[in-house]
Amino acid sequence: MSDPLLLMKASSLCVIAASLLALVTSSAVRADDFTPEQGFISLFNGKDLTGWGYTAEDRFDGKTEASDGRYSAKDGILTVHPHDPAKGPRLRQMWTTQLFPRDFILKLEFRAAVNADSGIFLRKPQLQCRDYLVAGPYKTLKNYKAQDWNTIEVTVKDNVAHCVCNGEVLEDALKLPATGPIGLEGDRGQMEYRHIQIMEAP
Angstrom distances, CA of residue 76 to CA of 44, 47, 125, 170, 193: 8, 6, 26, 26, 9
Question: Which pLDDT band, with edges at 50, 70 and 90, does 4 fall under?
Answer: low
Full residue range of the structural domain in which residue 12 is found: 1-33
Q: Tell whether the model's pLDDT for residue 104 goes beyond 60.
A: yes
pLDDT digits (tens, 9 = 90+) for 120-135: 999 999 999 999 999 9
Q: Are residues 120 and 62 in the same domain?
A: yes
Structurally, how many domains does the chain consist of? Answer: 2
Nearest C-alpha neighbor of 101 from the set 173, 40, 182, 172? 182
Residue 17 has pLDDT above 50, yes or no: no
CATH number for 189: 2.60.120.560
Task: Determine the Cα–Cα distance for residues 94 and 48; give it in Å rounded to an integer.
Answer: 13
For residue 6, pLDDT beyond 80: no
pLDDT tens across 157-197, in order? 999 999 999 999 999 999 999 999 999 999 999 999 999 99
Instruction: State whether 13 and 94 are in the same domain.
Output: no
CA distance 181 to 101: 9
- Whether residues 20 and 101 fall in one domain: no
In this structure, the answer to whether residues 5 and 29 fall within a common structural domain is yes
